[in-house]
Structure 1
Amino acid sequence: MRVLRLTPFFHHDCVTEWPAEFDAVGGMQVQILRLSRELADRGVEQQVMTVGFPGLPRTRTDRPGLVIRVTRAPLPRLRSELTGLVGLNQAWLAAVLTAGFPLRRRWRPDLIHVHADGQLWALLAGPLMSRITGAPYCLTLHCSRLAVYEPMSRFDRLQHGLVHAAERYALRHARRVSTLTSRTADTVARELPMDRARIDVLPDSVGAVRRVPALAAEESVRELGVPDGVPLVGWVGRVAHEKGWRDFVAMAGRWDEVSGAPGAVFLVVGDGPQCGRMREAVEAAGLADRFVFTGFLPHDAVPPVMTALDVLVMPSAHEELGGSALEAMVCGTPVAGYAVGGLRDTVGSVTPALLVERGDVEALTRAAGEAVTGAAVHREAVAGALPVLLASYGDDTADRALEHYRRALGGAADRADGADRADRAGNADRAGSTDRAGSAGKAHGGAGWRG
């Protein structure tokens, strides 16, 4: 099976530095990399067209069957607080469409898989690339305008109706749709309306993330500059508007007065288009001595940090699922946050008392403080939920994706595999007959399903 993966969001873990203006790493990027590798290991041949930054090779083979192509038209380096660079995703789409014409001749995909985050450009990629290549597309909603997404700026609110319409169009014309949660799948089916049977729920996977030994976790945060003997309150992810960093800083400012917990250190792991603003807000609030900023960390450095935290705080405006919350909980750490999107299902099924109404900073501060002062109760709840979390967000993600692809192709894969085997067998018979007859003719390879 050949799959063309279209996404401006992809984790290049071959580097140790990541320019934030080229869209800092978040859960979506890591999940798409993980899924691509797991499918390659199961024999799915893939090309990924994604955004990259200077210094990355334009094309690289990550592993057999998985080729990563940095696909981006030239653009000036004008900073954007939403996308990193002004026009970054537009430049990606332009390059993808340009690359589609030669790709149709050299490596025609059987299926296109588009990963959409609630922005316009990825939603356009599926219908347009499908028309260029002649291959059907499936669409994953990592964040849906219909169900979860909240506009992030005045301009975003102005274009909300346009992107809303683009999502509807892309959904209707997709061969098949997947979402991260049943909640979003039900909403999409109701709002379009669409046959719910056309939507598969493919939640993110925690992969190999697990709790690490306590001493190793403590050592990891000491190396980051975190002092001993104080509660550690964490933020892990992209520093961007929708992740609610302003409320995290406001919570830190009210900690001593409201939380009921001892004075804490606030650890910010990650980078993003608004990291500079967050640092300025921390300085202006007089909290610089209480904050530690790590910047970008490789993903394999995150589990020790998650384990060392007393609580992970997620004051997001919207979260389709909340991968950081899942990773924190499988590391044994409770999560406090706003009751939005998928957090209502993930955190809400484990420590519901630590979820509060969006925008209520005082309630968030009390919830995070409760996670510290009532650590035994909340950590026991998290530990008890571990088997369910691993069963729901564990190692079967690639198997679910393969079934999703087979449904999108309508069984064509199985039929073509059989035709290919029959064709090869027929060619072998003809070749043997020719040899026995003394002919110098050649046996021709089959032209069936591409494996």
Structure 2
Amino acid sequence: RLFYAAGPGNIIGTYRHWKSGKDDPSQVAITYSGQFFDLCQDLGAVGYAIAAHPTPDTIRDKNFTIEHLPKPAATGSLAYHWNQVWHGLQIMAAILKSKADVAIVADGTTHWFVLAPLSWLGVKVVPSIHCVLWRKYQPLKRKERWLLALDRVFFRHFCAGVLAVSDEIAEQVEDLTGTEVPPIAQFLPIYRREAFAGVESPSQERSPFRVVFAGRIEREKGVFDLLAIAQQLAQAGRTDITFDLCGDGTQLEALRQAAQAAGLADRFVCHGHCNKTQMRAMFNRAHAIVVPTRTDFVEGFNKVVVEGILSGRPVVTSAVCPALSYLKDAVVEVPPDQPTAYADALVKLCDDPDFYAAKQAACGALQEQFYDETQGWSAAVRSILGNLGFRRAGFFTREAAAPLVNS
């Protein structure tokens, strides 16, 4: 029996698409919940998946139970931490009710130490970590140090293995646990080739030079830095460089108003949420992708960086993004939180054809790893399951595809 606590996504919707033999059309990458359903079916395992989607719902279908368990909105630090603990207790109750052998839990579900008692009750807990454990450019606050100290105990003594989406996250787990490192299996986001089959090569026409941002419209994602970049370029007379921002968020209207006030509304366009078809159109006309996440944000493996590379577009970003080490040859790396450095990088891509061509050529050489399912999440889960000894008939019938980082 396998249990999966996912993030806040609509996994019931994903399951319905999966059952009809299709990928979830709302996502560009193959979803982790879809990979979980594939894995359970392949292994003959009973699967229970739960997500913190805001609309409560439950479906039961043969060997699957899929549940949406909303997490209450939190205002303030104390309420946030209480919600994390309470939601963790609810997840523990669901795990025990499901009689799971192994529980895979995505980061953000709860504080890790809350899950420690499951180990005493015979459940193997496997964290699936998609964001760095701490911000590498910011000093830890006292509260963060306390939480990491508690989580250190969990990872050392109550964790059966770790799924990590980047080498940087794996290194943080190793740093946190010292000499008692749990088994770690790394994975990458995986895509279907056909998702990018219709994306054309960037236009040779450089006026305008189109830059795309895709993600949540929040201050910590660097969207106001992006406006500062656009202002600097306008002041330098570079009205040929334009920006398309795709995504929703709490700062969307404020950003639109700020762009309007700066006289940039025609060259700094906030499109709001864009579906898969709209994003394909945005990538098609883009020359470059920008990911200006700030240092005060706990960043994950930003899929937009990958999707830019798979579209054959160079990406401008900083080392705040843990994906950088996998894609460095196709990325223009700049110091974090420095709009001027981002502006200079975009100007160089626009004005230097040889530099742009080299970065674009590197995209092709880096794409294959993100189409290789042996590098994906389900392969990493197989690796952990194999390490735990689940190879009996009807549960684990094939050898693990993804190698463990350590053992």
Q: TM-score by structure 1 length?
A: 0.70
Report 1:76-91 matches (<5 A): 91=83
Contact 2:92 2:115 in 1 (8 A): no
Change (3 A) 1:129 1:103: same
Counterpart in 2 of 1:224? none
**2:170 is equivalent to residue 185 of structure 1:** yes
Distance in 1 between residues matched to 2:110 and 2:88, nearest whole Å: 11
**Mapping of residues 16-415 of structure 1, within 5 Å:** 31-40=31-40, 42-43=42-43, 44-53=45-54, 56=55, 58-60=57-59, 67-72=65-70, 75=72, 91=83, 94-95=86-87, 97-98=89-90, 100-101=92-93, 104-105=96-97, 107-117=98-108, 121-124=110-113, 126-127=115-116, 134-146=122-134, 148=136, 157=141, 159-172=143-156, 173-195=158-180, 198-208=183-193, 209-214=195-200, 230-258=208-236, 262-299=239-276, 301-317=278-294, 319-351=299-331, 354-374=332-352, 377-391=355-369, 394-396=372-374, 397-407=376-386, 410-411=388-389, 413-415=390-392
Which residue number corresponds to residue 445 of structure 1? none
Structure 1 unaligned residues grouped into runs of 5+: 16-25, 219-227, 421-451
Q: 1:278 and 1:89, CA in 2 relative to 1: closer, same or farther beyond 3 A?
A: farther
- The DSSP-based 3-state class of the residue aligned with 1:69 is strand
User: How far does residue 212 in structure 1 lie from its aligned partner after superposition?
Assistant: 2.1
Alpha-carbon offset, residue 249 of structure 1: 1.3
Per-residue deviation, 1:229: 6.1
**What are the superposed Cα offsets for residues 375-432 of structure 1, whole Å, 9 maximum, x if unpaired?**
5643453344424332256322145223233145x21x22465999xxxxxxxxxxxx
Q: Secondary structure at the match of 2:266?
A: helix
Secondary structure of 2:240's counterpart equals coil
* Residue identity (%): 18
Q: CA deviation at 1:198?
A: 1.6
Aligned-pair distance for 1:150?
5.1
Q: Secondary structure at the match of 2:356?
A: helix
Structure 1 pair 399/30, CA: closer, same or farther in 2 (3 Å)? closer
CA RMSD of aligned residues (A): 3.9
1:137 Cα deviation from its structure 2 partner: 0.4
Tell me if structure 2 keeps the 8 A contact 1:59–1:67: yes
Q: CA deviation at 1:256?
A: 2.7
Question: Corresponding residue for 2:17?
Answer: none
Q: Note the C-alpha offset of 1:193.
A: 0.3
- Alpha-carbon offset, residue 245 of structure 1: 1.6
CA distance in 2, matches of 1:93, 1:302: 37
**Aligned residue pair count:** 377
What SS is found at the alignment partner of 1:400? helix
Q: Distance in 2 between matches of 1:38 and 1:158?
A: 42
Task: Give, in whole Å, the separation in 2 of the partners of 1:3 and 1:149.
Answer: 37
Q: 1:114 to 1:339 in 2, by over 3 A?
A: same
TM-score by length of 2: 0.77
How far does residue 98 in structure 1 lie from its aligned partner after superposition? 3.4
